[in-house]
Amino acid sequence: MHRTHNCGELRRANAGQTVTLAGWVNSYREQGKELVFVDLRDRYGKTQVVFYTDDDSKIDSLARRLRREDVIKIVGEVRYRGDGLVNAKLATGEIEVRVQQLVVLSRSKTPPFEIEGGELPNEELRLKHRFLDLRRPELQRNIILRHELTQAVREYFNQRNFLEIETPMLGRSTPEGARDYLVPSRVHPGSFYALPQSPQIYKQILMVSGFDRYYQIARCFRDEDLRADRQPEFTQIDVEMAFVERDDVLNTIDGLVSSVMKKVRGIEVPVPLPRYTYRDVMERFGCDKPDMRFGMEITDITDIAGASEFSVFKTVSSSGGRIRGLNVKGGSEKYSRRLLDVDLKNFVGDFGAKGLAYMKVAGGKLESSIAKFFSDAQQQEIISRMQGEEGDLLLFVADTYKVTCAALAALRNRIGKEQNLYDPASFACLWVVDFPLVTWNAEEGRYDAEHHPFCQPNPEDSEYLKSDPGKVRADSYDLVVNGYEAASGSVRIHDSEVQQMVFDLLKINSEEAERRFGFLLEALRFGAPPHAGIALGLDRWVMLLAGNDNIREVIAFPKTQKAADMLTGAPSGVDDRQLRDLHIDVVEPPPK
Amino acid sequence: MHRTHNCGELRRANAGQTVTLAGWVNSYREQGKELVFVDLRDRYGKTQVVFYTDDDSKIDSLARRLRREDVIKIVGEVRYRGDGLVNAKLATGEIEVRVQQLVVLSRSKTPPFEIEGGELPNEELRLKHRFLDLRRPELQRNIILRHELTQAVREYFNQRNFLEIETPMLGRSTPEGARDYLVPSRVHPGSFYALPQSPQIYKQILMVSGFDRYYQIARCFRDEDLRADRQPEFTQIDVEMAFVERDDVLNTIDGLVSSVMKKVRGIEVPVPLPRYTYRDVMERFGCDKPDMRFGMEITDITDIAGASEFSVFKTVSSSGGRIRGLNVKGGSEKYSRRLLDVDLKNFVGDFGAKGLAYMKVAGGKLESSIAKFFSDAQQQEIISRMQGEEGDLLLFVADTYKVTCAALAALRNRIGKEQNLYDPASFACLWVVDFPLVTWNAEEGRYDAEHHPFCQPNPEDSEYLKSDPGKVRADSYDLVVNGYEAASGSVRIHDSEVQQMVFDLLKINSEEAERRFGFLLEALRFGAPPHAGIALGLDRWVMLLAGNDNIREVIAFPKTQKAADMLTGAPSGVDDRQLRDLHIDVVEPPPK
């Protein structure tokens, strides 16, 4: 071993010992002709090592040629720095090591950016030099956090009789939702494997096989156009349980979240996490993944507004639309007329809202260009329902239910952030349950599964399955953290006839169902237990815990938004022979 | 939860309790009109549940329609079976549950094969019905063993400051050795990702990045024609360490093997594991992965045989060949002349040996058709060197060194097995070190890397790097268990100049090296620590511990030797639209 200690562990108690350290030259400083100071760095910390000219002129001249990021090994004596000379900022700040031997293990060219401090270059340069970027303390911390979180997750499940079972990466293409990544088969010309979008069907098969508690930290793939928080390959904590009902899964994940947050970051998360229905969060927050770090809920005033003299509100109300609003506490001084009339109006416009009405609470009344359309009683009713107080700003959108949801949810998030309504380091987790089973796809003229085609319809709604499918609730649930969907799951169908009925509803005809999911249908015919499961996005969870909003900061070797690996240059051209072996040919895309 | 207890946990102490159980109907037996017995099964065990006609005629009639593999839930009272009625073979054999309520959760069609006992059908049928096959106790045990081994491995590394770090599945194609699986890129027409054959380069990059102790349970891919113990996707325990030397890795893995074997199977493996050089095992066992559960080492008698009057031996000896043999203890009665002259001769013939000479030790002398060519003194010398005793059978191959190695290694394994020279449930582990760095590839007229191009040449042999590369030993090592290569690793090159020199030796020209490995060469120029690593085959390790010799028995969803998944039907045809999106076309292979 090229070291007796790492660079983070020496203390005053080690004084007098002869040690061997190895690491990177983090900084280099000469003090006249007598001394050279080097901060030696490794994953564990930094230690100051000192070269004295008097000790050995050869070592001294070698030391004077050291540059940042060179890798060296030194042997030396640990010394207490002396009272008043201790560096309290450094864990090893009580000591330094007086060098007796020096070996340069490896030289470094001048790095294109600073490892510590300094301004960060653009992300592309960092990704191209990922081997240097990963040396930066922030990324070291993130990767270590990711390791710790992953292991805490495993420990939690292992202690509860869950089995980690590996499912195939080379699977069958069952196109739906996202695009599959395909892998041409050499042995079967013209056939393809697909990389899994999730281990969904395999884990259901495992339940049918009697492995009643399964988990896997599973790599999944989606060939989608990427957004900031998406990667072509991502990692999910994949869970499935048999002989359970919805709340058993929710309780299990409550326990996971609270135990992992406590273990990894020392954060207390009270459980059970609050559970809201889809209908409830849409009504109160306008979206199915509300950020609950702050309140400012949506309030409906359709009845009052519809009875007013304001024609816009009246028209919306009478045509079945809604008038809903937010109360920005103490906001009347914070938003200028310009901000309200232009900026916020355009902002909600991006979500389809035709306008933004606003009123200020002043002197116990409403102050607004439209206040005159409201009677005193109506004004009092609005103030009371909105819990308005002196100085509050009330914002309203009048539109279809869908548009009011979208516009007010976005507006709420924006104002929450710009008014600092919450501590960005805090966490607010909740469950959203009872999603709709299907949504109408007007373009294709059929229903789409809201979660996926294996999701159990709520038995209470089975009467609507044929008559009014849009009304049927699914036995599904999402875990929402700080406005992100952190996990998604459902009770699964374990009856092949119900499964067939849902396929029919989704207009997946029998032949297609047989071709794509035949093996699952067949498995359900041989004694399938009731089962339910969930998948949590690992990357996103680490990102939230790292306090970051770029998912690439918590992945060792991420891809760009163009799905490229800047370090290795993947994807790349390949030899013609490789393509011949795989029985495929490249088709040039038509010129743009 | 559809149960209060699982099917393996009720004991006499539970008598009197009302419990809810759920599981599969494992067996069904009527006793006249009064009673129906069902063995209810889940992952944890079996429990006998009893239906009494008197209790409830509705339940009774429902019970009488139960069939094997139906999934049911029952509520009932736990009862002690009574003295003399306990089934000692069953963990729950002290009790039975008298049913008060019965819910049929799911019916099963008649399974195409028995879950317990019964004759196994062909593997294809089993793989097609993997959801049933996985219910069999053997497979349940194997999958649980795999889970336990995997977690024990993680625990070992976690306790030692190793970080599990995920590396990409969508990487760059660097064709060598095995074929890559390719993944066409949609965003970059004509470009391809490759699935990793191993995380080799990424883990070396991680060392350059300062993560000095890395591991990963990593999925890897090789598009090779499959043998019985190979799969297109397989799992390896991938390890890399910085600031270490060879023995640090060996000691780490010694600890891993002994702690995991102890934990998972209660097997004591004394460490350090014995370490042999490549040259030594080739001399003594004829191969680089000797099965050390038994002795019967190869003995060289070239000097004696060459001095004899037997012309075959003399010719081989004088042309630089070798005469080497095995002593089959007490074998002279066990192998008939026919077996020796036909069967074993043909057997060694498959490995290139032109013949098999044999001699029996009888009356203190050698008995053989060729004994007459050996003087008494020569006979005594042979007996003594071969440690011959009365009744021993001595077998010799005379040929080039390479052929004697191959033929005798195979012969040794065959005889060891057919003569029961070892306990098949025992384990013998060893290290083989100092492999050659390169082997001559006559076909291509160049040297090939024996391990891979990143393997450090032994510094002691650096003088031969240019003059006689075949002589250079690599700083590499294999872990061998029961004749299988269980792990393989090496000290890596951490100097870009040495790396360039090895690329030159392998006739990988600078341009090609830059194109394929440029990012690694570049990384080595920015301060790379000395590092070394290893990869252990997880599937094979589980297979050995499960006492199996078919790797498909330890993988939940394996592929056939034609790389097909019988359950899902992967690989399969895909939509034209999918191919268009990926800018590829299928080229029909020429008719055969």
Q: Is residue A276 part of a domain?
A: no
Tell me which DSSP letter residue B457 carries.
B
Query: Which residues from chain A sit within 8 angstroms of residue B151, using beta carbons?
Result: 154, 158, 164
Note whether B539 and B477 are same-domain residues.
yes
In 3D space, the residue among B93, B100, B98 whose CA is nearest the CA of residue B11 turns out to be: B93
Q: Is residue A481 part of a domain?
A: no
In 3D space, the residue among A479, A440, A426, A481 whose CA is nearest the CA of residue A265 turns out to be: A426
Pairing between β-strand B163-164 and β-strand B182-184 as defined by DSSP bridges: unpaired
Among all chains, which residue has been given the structure tokens 């519809």? A306
Residues in chain B: 592
B590 in A contact zone (CB under 8 Å):
no
Query: Which residues from chain A sit within 8 angstroms of residue B3, using beta carbons?
Result: 243
Structure tokens at B546: 């499960």
Q: Is residue A545 part of a domain?
A: yes
Note whether A316 and A362 are same-domain residues.
yes
Query: Which residues from chain B sit within 8 angstroms of residue A570, using beta carbons?
Result: 168, 170-173, 193-194
- Residue A496 C-beta-side C-alpha neighbours within 13 Å: 21
User: Which is more confident, A459 or A301?
Assistant: A301
Checking if the pLDDT of A296 tops 80, the result is yes
CA distance B550 to B542: 11
Q: A313-367: per-residue pLDDT in tens?
A: 999 999 999 999 999 999 999 999 999 999 999 999 999 999 999 999 999 999 9
Is A588 strand, coil or helix? coil
Note whether B306 and B399 are same-domain residues.
yes
CA distance A403 to B592: 62
Residues in contact with B235: Cβ distance below 8 Å, sequence separation at least 6, in sequence order:
A166, B217, B218, B219, B220, B537, B538, B539
Residues in contact with A422: Cβ distance below 8 Å, sequence separation at least 6, in sequence order:
A291, A293, A294, A416, A428
> The CATH number of the domain where B347 resides is what?
3.30.1360.30
CA distance B295 to B273: 17
Tell me which DSSP letter residue B344 carries.
I
> The CATH number of the domain where A89 resides is what?
2.40.50.140
Structure tokens at A122: 């653009």
Q: Is residue B578 part of a domain?
A: no
Q: Is residue B167 part of a domain?
A: yes
Q: A385-403: per-residue pLDDT in tens?
A: 999 999 999 999 999 999 9
Q: Is residue B253 part of a domain?
A: yes
Q: B488-499: per-residue pLDDT in tens?
A: 999 999 998 898
Instruction: Determine the residue among A188, A214, A568 to mutate to test chain B binding: the one whose Cβ has the most chain B Cβ atoms within 10 Å.
Output: A568
Q: According to the model, what pLDDT value does residue B531 have?
A: 98
ipTM (interface predicted TM)? 0.94
User: Which is more confident, A589 or B475?
Assistant: B475
Residues in contact with A261: Cβ distance below 8 Å, sequence separation at least 6, in sequence order:
A267, A268, A269, A427, A545
CB A366 within 8 A of CB A359: yes
Q: According to the model, what pLDDT value does residue B174 have?
A: 77
CB contact (8 A) between residue B202 and residue A171: no
Q: According to the model, what pLDDT value does residue A175 have?
A: 61
Tell me which residue range forms the domain holding B80.
12-106
CA dihedral B282, B285, B290, B295 (to 10 degrees): -150
Query: Which residues from chain B sit within 8 angstroms of residue A527, using beta carbons?
Result: 24-25, 69-71, 106-108
CB contact (8 A) between residue A578 and residue B180: yes
Is A492 strand, coil or helix? strand
> The CATH number of the domain where B440 resides is what?
3.30.930.10
Q: How far is A116 from chain B (nearest CA, A)?
A: 13
Instruction: Determine the residue among B2, B193, B579 to mutate to test chain A binding: the one whose Cβ has the most chain A Cβ atoms within 10 Å.
Output: B193
Q: A169-224: per-residue pLDDT in tens?
A: 999 987 666 899 999 999 999 999 999 999 999 999 999 999 999 999 999 999 98
Note whether B268 and B315 are same-domain residues.
no
**Nearest residue in A to B174, CA atom:** A574
Note whether A62 and A159 are same-domain residues.
no
B342 in A contact zone (CB under 8 Å):
no
* Chain B residues 107-136 with a CB less than 8 Å from chain A: 107-109, 111, 129-132, 134-135
CA distance B88 to B291: 39
Q: B180-211: per-residue pLDDT in tens?
A: 999 999 999 999 999 999 999 999 999 999 99
Q: According to the model, what pLDDT value does residue B221 have?
A: 96
**Nearest residue in A to B178, CA atom:** A578
CA distance B73 to B53: 18
* Chain A residues 32-61 with a CB less than 8 Å from chain B: 41-43
Note whether A57 and A169 are same-domain residues.
no
CA distance B330 to B419: 10
Once rounded to an integer, what is the mean pLDDT over residues A50-68? 85
**Nearest residue in B to A45, CA atom:** B210
Amino acid present at B424:
P
Structure tokens at B82: 């009574």
Among all chains, which residue has been given the structure tokens 């109408």? A440
Structure tokens at A286: 């306008």
CA-CA-CA-CA torsion sign (A513, A519, A520, A524): positive
* Chain A residues 376-405 with a CB less than 8 Å from chain B: none
Domain boundary residue among B106, B130, B149?
B106
Q: How far is A426 from chain B (nearest CA, A)?
A: 27
In chain A, how long is the greatest CA-to-CA distance? 94
Beta pairing partners, A19: A76
Query: Which residues from chain B sit within 8 angstroms of residue A195, using beta carbons?
Result: 169, 183
CA distance B385 to B297: 12
CB A53 within 8 A of CB A35: yes
CB A147 within 8 A of CB B163: yes
Q: According to the model, what pLDDT value does residue B592 have?
A: 59
In 3D space, the residue among A249, A522, A425, A572 whose CA is nearest the CA of residue B171 turns out to be: A572
Note whether B271 and B152 are same-domain residues.
yes
Q: Is residue B363 part of a domain?
A: yes
The DSSP-derived string for B379-434 is HHHHHHHTT--TT-EEEEEEE-HHHHHHHHHHHHHHHHHHTT-S-TT---EEEEE-
Q: A86-126: per-residue pLDDT in tens?
A: 999 999 999 999 999 999 999 999 999 999 888 888 999 99
A322-328 β-sheet, strand order: A299-300, A322-328, A393-399, A357-362, A365-367
Q: According to the model, what pLDDT value does residue A592 have?
A: 59
Structure tokens at B430: 């060893």
> Euclidean distance between the first and final Cα of chain B, in Å?
58
Q: Is residue B124 part of a domain?
A: no
Residues in contact with B375: Cβ distance below 8 Å, sequence separation at least 6, in sequence order:
B308
Report residue B251: phi and psi, to 5°: -65, -40
Amino acid present at B590:
P
**Nearest residue in B to A586, CA atom:** B584
Among all chains, which residue has been given the structure tokens 């516009």? A407
Please state, as a whole number, how many other Cβ atoms lie within 10 Å of the Cβ of residue A532.
28
Q: According to the model, what pLDDT value does residue A146 have?
A: 98
CA distance A182 to A165: 23
CA distance A100 to A118: 32
Contact pairs from chain A to chain B, CB under 8 Å: 369
Note whether A242 and A172 are same-domain residues.
yes
Domain boundary residue among A418, A447, A468?
A418
Cα angle B10-B15-B21, degrees, rounded to a multiple of 5: 45
Q: Is-cis flag, bond preceding A571, omega within 30?
A: yes
Please state, as a whole number, how many other Cβ atoms lie within 10 Å of the Cβ of residue B72.
25
What percent of chain A clears pLDDT 90, i.e. is strictly above it?
84
What does pTM read for this prediction? 0.95
CA-CA-CA-CA torsion sign (B200, B206, B210, B216): negative
Domain boundary residue among B397, B418, B439?
B418
CA distance B182 to B169: 11
CA distance A349 to A353: 5
Checking if the pLDDT of A54 tops 80, the result is no
Is A217 strand, coil or helix? strand
* Least confident interval from A418-432, A434-448, A483-497, B470-484: A434-448
Note whether B488 and B528 are same-domain residues.
yes
Once rounded to an integer, what is the mean pLDDT over residues A567-586? 93
Query: Which residues from chain A sit within 8 angstroms of residue B125, using beta carbons?
Result: none
Note whether A338 and A205 are same-domain residues.
no
In 3D space, the residue among B377, B406, B379 whose CA is nearest the CA of residue B394 turns out to be: B379
Note whether B396 and B516 are same-domain residues.
no
Note whether B484 and B407 are same-domain residues.
no
Beta pairing partners, A242: A531
Mean pLDDT over the full length of chain A: 94
Q: Pick out chain B residues at pLDDT < 70.
A: 55, 175-177, 228, 589-592
CB contact (8 A) between residue B171 and residue A570: yes
Q: How far is CA B165 from the centre of its chain?
A: 24
In 3D space, the residue among B96, B138, B92, B87 whose CA is nearest the CA of residue B114 turns out to be: B138
Structural domains counted in chain B: 3
Q: According to the model, what pLDDT value does residue B57 have?
A: 75
Q: According to the model, what pLDDT value does residue B509 have?
A: 81
**Surface-to-core class of residue A276, CB atoms within 10 Å of its CB (0-12 exposed, 13-18 middle, 19+ buried):** buried
Q: What DSSP element (H or E) covers B327?
A: strand B322-328
Please state, as a whole number, how many other Cβ atoms lie within 10 Å of the Cβ of residue A423.
9
